[in-house]
């Protein structure tokens, strides 16, 4: 039973446009959500996170939105750049636990 | 200076062999993890140690044995390797385990069992 789902395995976007990556979760105990970026032959690197007490967190070109009622979060990248081309994983965690649950990733390709 | 380092980066071996993967972090973190990324690219937690104590042990065959000699190291030993063990194994660390913590990952070890 996959508690964190990224239903789009891939996404292509033109340089300069907005990239929107989506993530759905099923466990209502999750209260901390993270996005990681992964380049080939490297480990995932932390990008941005959001706590369930917020509905938006912004860091430069990256914004994460959380809709708790829909159990949905999204990552917006604007403007998208070719260097953003990577696999993006969302992850979720419940307070009081050590376990992070990862989605299967979305491969973003930003076309120059 | 790499924060979380894994060795080796690539490991090719025959079925039935025993192999180890080493992980070291220099971030001063107290929690370390092993993940397996299979052919479907799914990152699945295997084990976690907090201050050298095993705190997560997922449904992993007992051929896999983690060992944490100190807070900065978490090694993974695999006995009697099988074809299905072929995957990329990632080590990660975080400061504190139960809070809102960020994990830092190593570059991964690609294991191929022939």
Best mutation site among B88, B103, B104, B109 for testing chain A: the one with the most A CBs within 10 Å? B103
DSSP bridge pairs for A48: A35
Set of chain B residues whose Cβ sits within 8 Å of the Cβ of A100: 33, 45, 103
**A89 part of contact set with chain B, CB < 8 Å:** yes
| Residue A110 contacts residue A13 (beta carbons within 8 Å) | yes
- Count of pairs with CB atoms under 8 A, one residue in A, one in B: 57
What is the distance in angstroms between the Cα of A32 and the nearest Cα belonging to chain B? 6
Query: Residue written as tokens 């299979």?
Result: B38
Cβ contacts of B107 on chain A, cutoff 8 Å: 41-43
Measured between beta carbons, the chain B residues lying within 8 angstroms of A36 are 105
**Any CB–CB contact under 8 A between A32 and chain B?**
yes
Tokens of B112: 């191929």
Q: Which residue reads 């990239």 in tokens? A: A19
Residue of B nearest to A107 (CA): B41
The set of residues, in sequence order, having a beta carbon less than 8 Å from that of A56 and lying 6+ positions away, is A50, A63, A64, A65, A66
Cis peptide preceding B8, ω within 30 of 0: yes
pLDDT digits (tens, 9 = 90+) for A64-112: 999 999 999 999 999 999 999 999 999 999 988 888 999 999 999 999 9
User: Which of A13-17, B3-7, B92-96, B110-114 is least confident?
Assistant: B92-96
Residue A20: pLDDT band with limits 50, 70, 90: very high
- Interface residues from chain B to A (CB-CB < 8 Å): 4, 31, 33, 35, 40-45, 48, 50, 55-56, 90, 92, 97-100, 102-108
pLDDT in tens, B13-60: 999 999 999 999 999 999 999 999 988 778 999 999 988 889 888 878
Q: List residues bridging with A34 in a β-sheet.
A: A49, A91
């Amino acid at each position: 039973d996959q508690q964190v789902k990224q239903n789009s395995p891939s996404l292509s976007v033109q340089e300069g446009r907005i990239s929107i990556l989506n993530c759905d979760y099923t466990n209502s105990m999750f209260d901390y959500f993270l996005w990681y970026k992964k380049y080939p032959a490297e480990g995932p690197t932390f990008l941005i996170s959001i706590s369930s007490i917020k509905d938006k967190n912004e860091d430069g070109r990256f914004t994460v939105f959380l809709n708790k009622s829909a159990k949905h979060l999204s990552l917006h990248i604007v403007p998208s750049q070719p260097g953003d081309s990577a696999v993006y994983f969302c992850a979720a965690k419940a307070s009081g636990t050590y376990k992070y649950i990862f989605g299967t990733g979305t491969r973003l390709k930003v076309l120059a | 200076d790499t924060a979380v380092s894994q060795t080796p980066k690539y490991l090719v071996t025959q079925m039935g062999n025993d192999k180890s993967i080493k992980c070291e972090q220099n971030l001063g973190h107290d929690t370390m993890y092993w993940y397996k990324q299979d052919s479907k690219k799914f990152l699945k937690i295997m084990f976690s140690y907090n201050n050298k104590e095993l705190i997560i042990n997922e449904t992993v065959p007992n051929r896999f044995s983690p060992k944490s000699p100190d807070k900065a190291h978490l090694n993974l030993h695999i006995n009697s390797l099988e074809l299905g063990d072929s995957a990329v194994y990632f080590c990660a660390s975080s400061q504190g385990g139960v809070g809102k913590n960020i994990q830092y990952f190593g570059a991964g070890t690609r294991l191929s069992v022939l």
